[in-house]
Structure 1
């Protein structure tokens, strides 16, 4: 796996509580990468306080990102932004087995043809009704293979 220049998140911590986000949040240690992500996906780069290793953050205005998959291992997937391929490799970490299985398949299938997969990484709203009739809503990351990357 390549070394990554930033990480995608679908949540953040606010007042010591985890908060799901309807758009992607990107962290990086590079102000230049943060500015490029902001230009490509919307949002505004800001420096995180107190200083942390990935000290720049962009809460984008994009619930879906076109990504070229580079590889998947363990609980992470490495990818490049289709609209900013030369920026470098980003990472998304997940603990969802179904999403990881889909990502692994997406990486393997085009590789057989000597190509990489072009995918849409999305944060989608989900609504379910429990067996007791309670409506529960949450946000869930998903992936869809759009085709192969030239």
Structure 2
């Protein structure tokens, strides 16, 4: 996998430096030296161009978009470059493709000695004597390819594990391929019961530009309610119940991540979906209990009335 040497219009990032500290983001951040490119990205992906702060030597402008997934064009397998790099105090001391050295020059082409299994490579890197992955993807934004070529660089082990399948998928398309570049949310609970949440980069190959739209479809519109006349016709077909139930009011729902986190702790759930399901189950159970209590109260009232009538016909000393 060779690296695309085309001039770059900008770079995509999953994080930034804030007051000297790394900060992860929930949507793509784009940096560029071109004010027109920054304005074009903001028009497509949201956000506003602004001078970049907090990163010495960085590009002049940044756009904090509101998109966690962007539809892009990759120009075949050559749009993906993958290296394994180990840096020392004097710079790069080991660079390979997982099989052969790429540098230093005197070792280029020789076996690099890296373990074949990804888990073994991760262990060597964690111990400080093995290289880390360095992947780069070059692409155009599918809805506006004239903005130029962008690139995204990552040291993600998850991305490294995906690269072989990604290259195979690009080869099957044969030429320019439409893909989704996504910051995928990963959430899980460790064995120690600690909730972990982070985002990983994922490239999904969708097909050729002839068969895939440059922009993902908009969310489906809600189905409109039937007209009053249609509801009346439907009501006449089925017999009406003697005591029609009262329609429940519609309650707007907003999601509060902190509230969901506290609810997860109380309910003992491991992700947001399980938390919502458990909470709804509690609500349903509560309604069922309330309905059962109402029925019991009604039955107790009937028993009391029968007992009162029976007692009225007997000796007054019993009342």
Structure 2, gaps ≥5 residues long: 83-134, 211-319
What is the CA-CA distance between 1:101 and the residue it aligns to?
4.8
Shift of 1:132: 0.9
Structure 2 partner of 1:139 = 199
The structure having more radius of gyration, on CA atoms, is: 2
Question: CA separation of 1:18/1:49 partners in 2, compared to 1, >3 Å: closer, same or farther?
Answer: closer
**Residue 123 (structure 1) aligns with:** 183
Residue 138 of structure 1: CA displacement? 1.4
Structure 1 counterpart of 2:143: 83
Contact 1:41–1:61 (8 Å) recurs in 2: yes
Q: Deviations over 1:45-64 (max 9, x none)?
A: 00124774411100001111
Matched, 1:72 2:80: yes
**Stretch moving more, 138-147 or 99-108:** 99-108
The count of corresponding residues between Structure 1 and Structure 2 is 150
- Structure ranking higher on relative contact order (CA contacts 8 Å, 6+ apart): 1
* Contact 1:76 1:92 (8 Å CA) reproduced: yes
**In structure 1, what is the equivalent of residue 288 of structure 2?**
none
User: Does structure 1 conserve the Cα–Cα contact (< 8 Å) formed by 2:173 and 2:208?
Assistant: no
Question: Following TM superposition, by how much is the alpha carbon of 1:97 offset from its aligned partner in structure 2, in angstroms?
Answer: 3.6
* Corresponding residue to 2:26 among 17, 22, 27: 22
CA contact (8 A) 1:120 1:144 kept: yes
Pairing 1:102-121 to 2, within 5 Å after superposition: 102-103=162-163, 105-121=165-181
| 3-state SS of 1:38 partner | helix
Give, in angstroms, the shift of residue 114 of structure 1. 3.2
| 1:62 to 2:72 alignment | no
Q: Which secondary structure does the structure 2 equivalent of 1:137 belong to?
A: strand
Deviation at 1:129, TM superposition (A): 0.8
Alignment match, 1:39: 43
Q: What TM-score do the two structures reach when normalised by structure 2? A: 0.44
Q: Which protein has the bigger strand share? A: 1
RMSD: 2.0
